[in-house]
Structure 1
């Protein structure tokens, strides 16, 4: 009697145990450090609860004005119904700023934890199809749900990236199944929650136009109308009320504040780091040579959000320049999507687009690396080379977020989170891609067997990876211990600058690797 084959279909219950472990860790992090983003979202919650919709995007009660798309404002409005019951003061925009009572802290922390249900379900759905085994699905769930970057940004620093990335993964899962209409619809919903995800919109447009709107002129046009109608319906639901009140211009002004400058307060580790450093080096060199040039200051590393765009020597970068640069960087991916729109490549194309936006975009936040690190987790098991790339990238991404938590009591937490994540990846990838040798031919010579052996693809950390990761360790030791010994209180910006530059090297390597893999794909 033959033993029936094991049921390899993913069960929804299987994803909940890593989710529960993550929830337990998130509950322990409730008393940890909170950034000003905590007050930002508390104020938005109070603003949407206390004021009529027509005033949401014009109110200036606080400096933390509402600058997310309408669906996120509606989300804050939804939370405010419950917040007003827990602590009425936290939902009252007229009762002062920087309010953080114990009930308010607990409510907002729990709201982030509960909203991560979307990410958990999306992780399950993304691994529902394909040829994933049980161990592979479990590893992907752990990489996504236990992401140290998400824990740092959402559950310590405080934001709501988890459920937004969950919506992105849901959209990708539908596209990979060939359900293009609902995949495009879900992406439109995501854009109305957070417009920064629009970097991948060109990929969605080209892919859906070629893959969904095909089948001849009449059928293709009909599908284009259906898809366009679905997307327009989403945007009408989001922006329609503000159009009615004549607030559209104000909404767009708040959503696209180009006056904030090229770089964020802490340099995101992207291409513009090298541009800024080159400008500073050229300026100081020319000053030493006697040229009448204004020597650059450390404004880029001052830690303030503002216009930090002027350069001493190199041309000033404008939002238009960054936009064109991002489009040019994405173009190889768009060409591939146009010529051969394959559902299996969607996740890699979308991740590559977000990588381009991170590296070449305007006023990029370091937290935006999550936009491509999380989706790439789902493709990390396609080959040993994908696994190696993800191993390096996720470590660099997490380490680049360390400056967000600058208080001493959080230092052990972020280090432990990164180390545990690295161990999960190392042992997980090693088990999926073990070093094994298969014999292809055997010959007997001189009384001994000579085997022609061929190694199967395996996960390993090569010399480049070991060298680069050792460099990360050296950068951290310098910033935490040696900088004070050598320089004392001088050059306070240097440790942050070193983290940004060194992490940017890793990010550029990831971009080049992704570009190469996309170019070689068929």
Structure 2
């Protein structure tokens, strides 16, 4: 840790190198259908001209990310023929993947994580703040959820989070124009970050454009608008020229997929479903003729958008309004007092609102706020306590993604290692701070006795162990092959409690302190 304090950049690079070694060890592990999706997009963007990318329907894995990600796939495909020509040929071979084939795709994910490293290095030392603790940077680079989702399940979230953190770095530094342009590039890479757009708009309008005179403010507004429009033009202009904008947006926003993803994200709608099922059961017991919809949520499949028995139908516009309503206190704060030191917290909260109340939320979207919050996890004792609980719950909620037996020790070891790192690192950090405060105050006792975990948190986290024990051991013993979706439901509901707590904690912190 002394070396880390003396040279944060060097220590951060070494931490990233260690994480990369772990990623290489994960190459042979399970890969989800997302592997087939990205493998197909690699071939699609290489073998076909751009005008066919969003109209091609020769595969079930149609391109449904914005154009910058398609260009990114095209870039990754350039060296692919040197490894295996079938990587970029259509139709994509259905034969088992060769080792070079698999290794190349895995390495593209690890390579794209260099953007995350660059952003973390920039965030390591902030000219407007004290130097960030080395542990906060390690918490980002060694995120077990990111390792599991990207390097086992298979996605490119490290690259996308690197873009988000780069944008936040610019905003912290007061480089608002660069921050806005970087965020526009992020939106053109993955549109799910749109949930943070209201915070960006309000903050940039107030901090960059207002309070500088009418002429200068108007000039800055035009400059920011021109920068953002230029980025969107680079992404979408070719497809506008091809007359494919309607087709493209139908791919990006497939509202017919339903309120839930195949596996329930642990958010507000979990409790809505459970309440609906409880009400249906009670009313049927009371003699009411309550019909259970055929497309039941408990099948864990993408189906009907609102198969509720009692409660009102949930529509996309309902979820949109709830997200904006939940975000309103943050928007008010960003408008009334737009300070760069709060931007990470505000953006993280906006992503939390999207996760808790959004439409068809993927459980993996918890990365959008847990990773930025790691950067401010050591700003206060309350932040330490909050992040310790949130990071464990968020990672555990992703366990069902890696459902094969051979990956079970891996996901458990990743979470236990990260939890131990936090326990030791936070304890050491708080001990050092307490010793300094005690020396200043010349008080008796040590403040470190104010531990970063209370009894309620410990009891809740012990419940995670109980849920996992039931899922792995007792469920099959009690029910056999019956109720196969019950363990998943238990994980979603229990983790949903922790996620709701995190969302409310962030909301109260923003209202009281920003």
Normalised TM-score (structure 2): 0.95
Correspondences of 1:79-118 after superposition (within 5 Å): 79-97=76-94, 100-118=97-115
Query: Equivalent of 1:430, from 415, 427, 430?
Result: 427
Higher mean C-alpha deviation, range 50-59 or range 221-230: 50-59
Larger radius of gyration: 1
| 1:127-276 alignment, distance < 5 Å | 127-129=124-126, 131-133=129-131, 137-214=133-210, 215-276=212-273
Residues 160 and 15 of structure 1, relative CA distance in 2, 3 Å threshold: same
Structure 1: give runs of 5+ residues left out of the alignment.
1-5, 443-450
> Is residue 322–residue 362 contact of structure 1 (8 Å, CA) maintained in 2?
yes
Give the Cα separation in 2 of the matches to 1:456 and 1:516.
25
Aligned residue runs from structure 1 range 302-317, under 5 A = 302-317=299-314
Distance, in Å, in 2 between the alignment partners of 1:404 and 1:454 is 43
Identify the residue that residue 418 of structure 1 maps to in structure 2: 415
Measure the CA separation in 2 of the matches of 1:99 and 1:170.
38
Whether the aligned pair in 2 keeps the contact of 1:439 and 1:454 (CA below 8 Å) is no
Matched, 1:281 2:286: no
SS in 1 for 2:78: helix
Alpha-carbon distance change, 377 to 441 in structure 1, aligned in 2, over 3 angstroms: closer
The match for 1:292 among 289, 293, 303 is 289
CA contact (8 A) 1:37 1:158 kept: yes
Structure 2 residue corresponding to 1:363, chosen from 360, 365, 375: 360
Relative to structure 1, is the Cα distance of residues 27 and 8 closer, same or farther in structure 2, using a 3 angstrom cutoff?
Answer: closer
Q: Is the 8 A contact 1:213 1:221 kept in 2?
A: yes
Question: Structure 1, residues 2-26: CA drift from partner, whole Å, max 9, x if none?
Answer: xxxx997855333210111001000
Distance 1:183 1:410 in 2: 38
Residue 445 of structure 1 aligns with which residue? none
Q: Deviations over 1:17-64 (max 9, x none)?
A: 011100100000000000000000000111111111111111111111
Please state how far the C-alpha of 1:104 moved relative to its aligned partner.
1.5
Preserved CA contact (<8 Å) 2:295 2:303: no
Asked if structure 2 preserves the Cα contact closer than 8 Å seen for 1:15 and 1:138, the reply is yes
By percentage of residues, which structure has more helix?
2
Deviations 1:224-252 (A, max 9, x none): 00000000000000000000111111110
- Provide the rounded CA distance (Å) in 2 between the counterparts of 1:242 and 1:370: 30
**Change beyond 3 A, Cα 1:355–1:457:** farther
Offset at residue 95 of structure 1 (A) = 4.3
Q: 1:303 to 1:99 in 2, by over 3 A?
A: farther
| Whole-angstrom distance in 2 between the partners of 1:433 and 1:95 | 54
- Quote the Cα distance in structure 2 between the aligned partners of 1:351 and 1:288: 44
1:478 maps to 2:475:
no
**How far is the alpha carbon of 1:296 from its aligned partner?**
4.6
Residue 23 of structure 2 is aligned to residue 26 of structure 1: yes
Deviation of 1:85 after TM superposition, in Å, equals 2.3
Per the normalisation by structure 1, the TM-score is 0.94
- 1:166–1:10: structure 2 CA closer, same or farther, 3 Å change rule? farther
Q: 1:340 to 1:474 in 2, by over 3 A?
A: same
Contact in 2 for aligned 1:18/1:142 (Cα 8 Å):
yes
CA distance, structure 2, for counterparts of residue 115 and residue 458 of structure 1: 40
Residues 262-304 of structure 1, C-alpha deviations (whole Å, 9 max, x = no match): 0010100000000011111111221222212212567313232
